Structure 1
Amino acid sequence: MHRSLLACLALLLPTLEAQGRDEHAAAMKAKEALTAFDSGRFEEALSLYRAAHDLAPLPTISFAEARCLEELGRIEEALVAARRALAEGPSKDLKSRIVKKIAYLEERMKTGRLVIKATPAGAEVLLDGNPLGRAPVEPVEVERGYHRVTVRTSGQNEATQVVEVRGGRESIVEVSMREPSGRLSVKAPVPNADVFVDGKFAGQAPAIVEALQPGPHRVEVRLPGRSPVVEVAEVRDGDTTSIEIEAPSGGPRAWYKSSFGWSLAGAGIAGLATGAILLGLAASDRDEVKSALDARSPLGPSQQELRDKWDRADRMATAGYVVTSLGGAATVASIVGFAVNAKRSSQTAWIPACVGQSCALSVRF
C-alpha cells in the first residue's frame, strides 16, 4: 500500500508542475498526507488529501483519498472518491488500478460490518436466530439489510433488537439486559425443611432465593414424615415475595387406623384358622386309617373304604396347606398396610396444574 501511494505521489508532482496550478502547496499537502497515512493516521491523511485536491483536483489525489476512506471503513464514500478519480481523466496505468478498486469497493458494498455490544458479559448472543457465542463477541461481516440481534441470559429471559446494516459501513447495536432481581422468601412450620424452587434445591427453610425472573414459580417444601406441600408464588421484579407454608391439617395417622390393613389381617387370620382345621381333620382321618389297618378286624371297614378315607385326608391336607399359605400372605400384607398408613399424612398437598397462570389442584390423601 505504501509503495502504491508513493507511486501515485511520483506521478502527482510532475503533473502539478506541468499544469501550472498551485503545485507547491498541493505537493506539500500530499507529502504530509502520505506521512500521516504511513503512520496509520488515516483521518489526518484524508483531511490533507482533500485540501490538496482543492488546490489541484487531480485523479491521483482522488484515488489516494479513496484509499484513506477505505482504511477508515467508509466504503460508500471511498467508492464515490474512486469514481471521481476515474472521471478526472487518469493515465492508462492509474485508470486500470482505479477500475479494479471500484470493482472491489462495489463488492464490499454488498455487506457491512456489524458490531454487537451485548451485556451482561457471558450472555448468549444470537444473530438472526443463529448463535454467535457469548458476550463479548467479535464484529461480523453480514449482508446489508435488516438483522435481528438477540441476547439471552437464562430460561426465557432475552432481549431482541433489529438493526439495519448498510453496505460498506460499520453498524453498531447495543443490547443490554439487566439481571433479574426478584427475590423469594420461603418459611415453613418445621425448621430445616427442604425447599425446592422450580424443581431445584434452594436450601432449607427459612430460605431466601435471589435473582428470580418475574412471574410464577413452583415452590415445594418437603416436611419430615409428610407428603410434600407445593404452591405457586408470583414473583415481582425488584421486590421480595414472601410465602409461608402452613402446617398441614391433621397429623400422621396411627397405624391401627388402617381399615385396609385390618381387612387383610382378618382375611389372614381366617385363612390361617381354616387351614389349621383342615390339616387337623386330615391328620385325624389318617390316624383312623392306620389304626384300622393295624387291628385287621373282620368286622372293620373294607380296604376300599380305608383307601377312600385316606384319599379324602390327602385332599383336605392339600387344601389346608393352600389356605394356610394364603392366610399367611394376607397377614404379611396387613403388616405392610399398617406400616404404610403410619407414614402417610392426612394433609392436603397442592399440586400446580398450570404454573404459568398460577392455578393449582388440591389433592387430599
Structure 2
Amino acid sequence: MTMNFRSVALLISLATAVAVPGTAAAQPAAPQQAAGSADAAKRAEALVQKAGRLYSDGKYQEAEALLLPAWELNPTFDVAYNLGNTEYQLKKYREAAQYLSFALRHWPLLKGVAKLKPNAEKWLAESRAQVGAVGVTVSMAGAEVLVDGKVTGRAPLEGEVFVEPGEHRVEARLSGYETASQTVRVGKGGTAKVELAMTLAKSEANEATPVANVAEGASAPGAGAGGGPAAELAPGAPVEPASPPQPRSWVPVIALGAASVVGLGVGIGMTVASRNARSDADAQRAAILSRGPGCVNAPSDVASACDAFKDTAGSAEAFGTGALVAYVASGALAAGAVTYALWPRSATTGSSVGIRPIVSLATSETMVGVVGVW
C-alpha cells in the first residue's frame, strides 16, 4: 500500500519547482503569501526531505507536521501529492482527498512523474469513497466561501469541497452583499450541489436608488417654487399613484401579421389570375386579327369573339387592380404590426390596434384602414 516516500519527494522536487497559478481553490486553500519564490521553494524542499525520512520510518504524524508548513511555503502538486499520501496513511480521508485532487488537477506532463499518477488516482478513489463532496457555485466572483464556518476559498472554487458524511452549512460572503447560505446533507461517497445567489445589501440598494423621505405633515425645505416651502395637499385629497407600464399584448401583432400574410396570398392569387386572363385575351386578340381588320366595324361572325375578348381583357385588368390593392393592404398591415411591436409604451396609456373598413361615398371605393393607439 505504501511506497518509498523519499524517492517520490526527490523525483517530484526535481521535476517541478514552480508554484501553481493563484486561482481560487477549494480546500486546501492556497496560502496568502506569494508562493513559488526560490527561497520558499528551497525551504519547502528541505521540509519534504525531512518528512520523507520520517515517512519511511512509519512516523506519519511527524511527517504530516513538516509537510503542512511545506504546503504553506510552496503549494505545488508535488507537495500536495506527498501530503495527500501521508494523510491517507493516517486515515484522514477528507484531507487526503482534498490534497490528492489538487495534485491530480495540476499534474505536469512529465515522463518522470507519470508512473506516480496511478497511485494518486487509487488513493483518491479510496479516500473519496469514505467522505462526501460538495460542489459550490456562487453568483458573485470573489465571494468568500465557508463550510461549517471555515473558509475554503473564494468563488469560483477550483474543485469540490470534501466533507465528512452528514449535514453541512455552506455560506458565501462578500462586502456589500447579503450573506447567502444553504444547508445540505451528504452521504458517504455522495455529492451535493450548492448554488448560492447573492443580492445587494439593503444599505447598498438604498444608496443605489435614493428616495427622498418627508415626514407626514412636514414640508421639505426648498421644495416649492423659488426655494419656498412646498405646497401642502388639501386634507383628505387622494394622491393618485403612478400607474405602472401596462404589459404589452402581442395579440395585435399576431392578428396584423396573419392578416398581412392573407393579404399577400390574395395578391399573389390575383396576380396569377390577371396574368392568365391577359394571356387568354392576347390569344383571342390574335385570333380576331387573323380573321379581319379587328373589332372596329367587325362583321357579325367576329362580333361575338370581340365581346369575349373585351370580357377577358376586363377581367385581367380587374384582377391586376385587385392584386395591387391586396399588396398595399398587406404592406400596411405588416407596417402596423412592426410599429406596434417597436413603439415605446407609456406608463398610463394602454394600447389598441384595430382594422376598420373605410367606405368613400364620393368615389364608391372601399378601403382598409389600420387604426392604432400606443
TM-score normalised by length of structure 1 = 0.28
Structure showing greater radius of gyration is 1
TM-score normalised by length of structure 2 = 0.27
